[in-house]
Amino acid sequence: MIKQNISLKNYNTFGIDVKTKSFVSIKSEKDLLEILDLIKDHSFRILGGGSNILLTKDFNGLTILMQNKGINILSESKSQIIVEAQAGENWHKLVLWALERDYGGIENLAFIPGSVGAAPIQNIGAYGVELKSVFHSCKVLDLETSSLKTFDKEACEFGYRTSIFKNSLKEKIIITSIKLKLQKKPHQTQTSYGSIQNEIKKRPLNIQNIAKTIISIRKSKLPDPKEIGNCGSFFKNPVITIQHFEKLLKTFPEIPHYTDKKNKVKVPAGWLIEKLGFKGKRYGNVGVHEKQALVLINYGQAKGKEVLELASKIQEQVLRVFMIKLEIEVTLM
């Protein structure tokens, strides 16, 4: 049933109070196909967990809340399974489902907020693992042809926190489900990234303990959206040339970094922001979290415009001091 003039405050983790002209909750592909003509005739946007978005103004169109659920094993061999999860499933619940059954591959992505359907759009990642490493395919509704199609990993054009769905196919398709390739024992684990390296040594090495360690780290650094509005990491970690990094080292010898396979260097955006003194600072209704400078927070009454103004201030300072252009990770709506 389509509702009119609905506040989206409870549908985004930033807690931004904007309205949408029309609103509908989808619980199956059949529901989606039934409103296809409405989607084609109106401006629309998709919401899942509402965790990686910033709502900046009222929306004079149709907001579609994906609530289709279900996790099913489609096939398995001695070493792996193919599992399908519907777009409206909670991502962390999918991780827990896999851990309970001892299927590996997504344990490093534990406690990432949001829905399954949003995961390919961002190519979500954490602690040295990205979705694309376990991705098999996804099913989408093609709005131009009114048909359901399957995109394999190559067709998704995954990059760092991006995909074809965030670029050339934005607003042209709707993801309805994804398929992942998960491992049976023996698991191939990734524990060499950042703070997980030291913490994991305190427990026996298995995928359950890797997830527990990551959940503990994330809980200690990231605010709970139920207590204070936020959408997790607001900026991408910038990737710069080795030459640029070597110049920075002369002034900032303590700068943390990770060298990737393409002779580029990834620098933690949180460190850059903290170095400039933004960490823990409040600016009216918005601020920078006291434990993780990558996270911008809403103290209760913030508007999307205020969050963007703070983000711009941070970007300007980072560019001025470090000659690095910080990219916003969240989707602006």
Identified catalytic residue from 161, 163, 177, 306: 161
- What is the dihedral angle through the alpha carbons of 165, 166, 171, 173, rounded to the nearest 10 degrees? 10
Examine the residue annotation and report whether 329 is marked as an active-site residue of this protein. Answer: yes
Taking CA atoms, 329 is separated from 54, 72, 146, in Å, by 10, 30, 30
Backbone angles phi, psi at 169, to 5 degrees: -105, 15
Identified catalytic residue from 22, 163, 233, 306: 233
CA 270-276-277 angle, 5° bins: 95
- What is the dihedral angle through the alpha carbons of 159, 193, 14, 215, rounded to the nearest 10 degrees? 130
Q: Is 266 helix (H, G, I), strand (E, B) or coil?
A: strand
Beta bridge partners of 332: 54
CA dist 76 and 97 (Å) reads 16
Taking CA atoms, 47 is separated from 44, 106, 128, 261, in Å, by 10, 23, 27, 34
Positive or negative, the CA dihedral 318, 320, 321, 324 is: positive
CB 283: neighbour CB atoms within 10 A?
16
Examine the residue annotation and report whether 161 is marked as an active-site residue of this protein. Answer: yes
Catalytic (active-site) positions = 161, 233, 329
